[in-house]
Chains A and B, each alone.
Chain A
Amino acid sequence: MKKRQGWLFFIIFLLTLSVYLLINYPLQLGLDLQGGSQLTLQIIKEEGKVTKDELDAVNSVIDRRVNNLGVSESNLQTLGGDQLILELPGEQNPLVASRVLGKTALLEFRTQKAGTSTNLKTLQLQRLNIKEIIDQYSSSEKSQYDDNFLNIIQDDLKEIEQELNYSTTSNDLYGKLIEIKKYVDKEITNLFIKTDLTGKDLINAGRRQEQTNSNWEVLLTFSNSGGDKFADITKSIAGTNQLLAIILDGESISEASVGNQFANTGITGGSATISGNFSAENARELEVQLKGGSLPLPIEIVETNTIGALLGSKNILKSLYAAIIGLIFVGIFMIFNYRILGFVSVLSLVLYGFFNLALYSLIPVTLTLPGISGLILSIGMAVDANILIFERIREELYDGNTLTRSIDSGFQRANSSIVDGHITTLLSCFVLFLLGTNFVKGFAATLGIGVLISLFTSLNCSKTILRFFTTYQSLRQKNLYLPKNNFSN
């Protein structure tokens, strides 16, 4: 008896601790419950596996970019060996994030090959033409969008194709326009030779509005060695008709000549400006990308989940109500069938609920919709354990044993079945947690934690509470444990 009393105090202590934890460390709700966006980024590597170092490097670049974007309360995690998950809570549009994150942002400075001036001029002209057509095409209103308009665009496109001696293979008009744009960009880039000055030589990037018009420009600040390299490069082409190109992810965003006055020293001072007709938004995006550095490996956004805040709160309320209604019915069912024993199981289930939630806030487990369903199912397991025990106690009572003895052997004889059942479920949870996706992991985590706690509450808490009850003489009558009419058996 003494030992049981010790357990009782221990359980009360655990309950107090749980309440304390829940008050001080509130539960973390997943995005599907509070609303927000989740992007899954896949690191692309052609050959071999992504190494730990590469994963960390990508992670830190993405982290810097996200921070520079000023997204509040974002959360970046790695998943498996080659994926990252970015969570943006609330009403933040994932579009900007996806544009900034998806780019490799490899910045290069290249010098023009000698004797390619005519070639470059043709390409630059066509690039301008194509841009105009695309702008026209995407800004046109539905009313203008008739056959006549499409014919004009198609004719323009054909002219450009002839000029460039290239024929597009895409099926639709928009695809063709994008294809030829890419072709021209590539051809222009090919006219320039790589130098050893890249985005790695930057220490900062900024942006400002140009004085002459409303366009924006991006300012680059080089490190000491970068500044030296920049001076050398500009010196080598100063006064010639070779241009300096600033190339981002293989696309030239600016081509400029270097004046004769720099022939002796090159452009010194360790800074440069890219003025490529940026809008305020574009300039900011480039700034963020350059500040964060280029990605060591390209990434692709393979999954985007956006859940409106409205829907999120609806989800949580609905599932919460459903769970509570279900549990109340389970409680009624148990008390109806098992009387005092049922009441004991309701108490131990309440403890079970508190311990579970307290562990969620302690570990912490982020509560998602699949997580809640895992919790509800684990409650099923906990109830099952109680039923197994109570059925045994009933049988012992029917056989004419005393209450104390029946309770003892009931717990003892149900033990092996309960442990077996819990272990098989734990095995599934373990595998799910190891192999599953993020979504599945949430389910496995709550179900697994629940099953572990259920071992404690059903085998120990139920027993302790029951023992406590049976110390009162008035609670020891057999008919409080069995429906009367069954005594004749």
Chain B
Amino acid sequence: MKYNLELIKNKKKIISFSTVLILLSLLGILYSTFNTSYNKPINLGMDFVGGNELRIERFCEAECSNLSPDSVLENLREISKNKNVLNNIKLQFQNNNKLISIRTPYLSIEESNNLITNLDNIIGPLNYESKDSRLIGPKLGKRLLTNCVTSLLVSLFAISLYITIRFDKKYALFALLALFHDLLIVFGIFSWLGIILSVEVNSLFAVSLLTIAGYSVNDTVVIFDRIRENLKSKKEGYNETIQLSVNESFRRTTFTSITTLIPLLSIILFGSYSLFWFSLALSLGIIVGSYSSILLAPSLLLKD
């Protein structure tokens, strides 16, 4: 099987497609910064802003009865001593009314325990073995955010440095352009997810951005390696050699993406919920990354 991607013919289309994707991402980021309640480029989760997240299951005989979150909150307000705790509280029932999940601003462990006791009184009995709670102080949240942003910047810098040393300036520049293209688009998609579905990003999102960076650069490097190798033997013209190299590495790049996507998809479908958005971000990154390595980065190398 030979592949025949017409890179030279479609250069303009590829570049405009990427430009549209980037503009859409920027639009999401701008909209999110200026037009949402959180006023941030992306909807930061409680890892970064602090807060309390609580998930606990109810013991139910056969099926769990249907309860309205509003009435439960009403009851909670009445029973609780410290009324401040209950400002900004979010309560949801999931999994056929069995699983209760609650989000509040930061609470002390004592207050959080009181909240559960009160909840037990209202809609108990609760299964304490299933309790899953996370309390993050606002100070720590800020620290985590700076920490994640620094890690991202430092490792992007390290990768850029490595590529610049390893390749000529032109190759390095385009490999990095492709890398930032991928990161920006995944970031933009999550900005939009935050606006539309209130999806929040936590520290795992930063991890996924870093992993995407590694993958994307890896994919581009493999194709550029091939281009360099073929240019040395110089059988055909410059542009034709690039197109040939891309077609030669096409199988490898798609196969690698497929074998990486398979475990990720299986985590998305069957894995624990806490890894869902993480796996989704990675999958998106790998798809965008393969596209940019196969089509975008080599197109940028083409001469007019």
Contact = CB atoms under 8 A, between A and B. Distances in A.
Interface of A: 32, 35, 40, 42, 91, 93-95, 98-99, 137-138, 142, 145, 171-172, 174-175, 300-311, 314-315, 318-319, 321-323, 325-327, 329-330, 333-334, 337, 369-370, 373, 376-377, 379-380, 383-384, 387-388, 391, 395, 416-417, 420-421, 423-425, 427-428, 430-432, 435-437, 439-440, 443, 447, 486, 489
A310 B79 contact: no
A424 B134 CA distance: 33
Contact of A327 (B147, B211, B263): B263
A416 B271 contact: no
B23 interface: no
A319 B222 CA distance: 31
Given A304-B109, A319-B275, A384 B260 contact: yes
Given A330-B263, A333-B262, A424-B218, A306 B133 contact: yes
A326 B262 contact: yes
A484 B303 CA distance: 38
B140 A326 contact: no
Given A302-B140, A308-B131, A431-B155, A384 B210 contact: no
B134 A304 contact: yes
A380 B259 CA distance: 6
Given A318-B271, A376-B267, A428-B155, A486 B81 contact: no
Given A306-B133, A334-B259, A376-B267, A318 B272 contact: yes
A102 to B, nearest CB: 9
B130 A311 contact: yes
A428 B129 CA distance: 37
B140 A308 contact: no
A40 B140 contact: yes
Contacts of B215: 425
B63 interface: no
Contact of A323 (B84, B137, B147, B263): B263
Nearest to A398: B2
Please indicate which of the listed interface residues A319, A369, A428 has the most CB atoms of chain B within 10 Å of its own CB. A428
Nearest to B55: A311
Contacts, number: 225
Given A330-B262, A432-B207, A325 B270 contact: yes
The 3 nearest A-B residue pairs measured at CB: A326-B263, A380-B260, A421-B218
Contact of A377 (B134, B159, B260): B260
B171 interface: no
A444 B226 CA distance: 29
A175 B84 contact: yes
Nearest to B251: A391
A319 B267 contact: yes
Given A379-B263, A384-B260, A437-B203, A91 B155 contact: no
Given A369-B275, A384-B256, A436-B151, A318 B79 contact: no
B168 interface: no
Contacts of B136: 302-303
Interface in B209-260: 210-211, 213-215, 217-218, 221-222, 225-226, 248-249, 251-252, 255-256, 258-260
Contacts of B81: 137-138, 174
A326 B267 contact: yes
A429 to B, nearest CB: 8
B83 interface: yes
11 contacts: A42-B139, A93-B113, A174-B81, A416-B225, A420-B218, A424-B163, A424-B221, A425-B215, A431-B154, A435-B150, A436-B148
Nearest to A35: B129
Interface string B135-147: 1110110001001
A384 B259 contact: yes
Given A325-B266, A376-B264, 16 more contacts: A93-B113, A301-B109, A310-B127, A319-B267, A373-B275, A387-B252, A387-B259, A391-B251, A423-B162, A427-B158, A427-B214, A430-B155, A431-B151, A432-B210, A436-B151, A437-B147
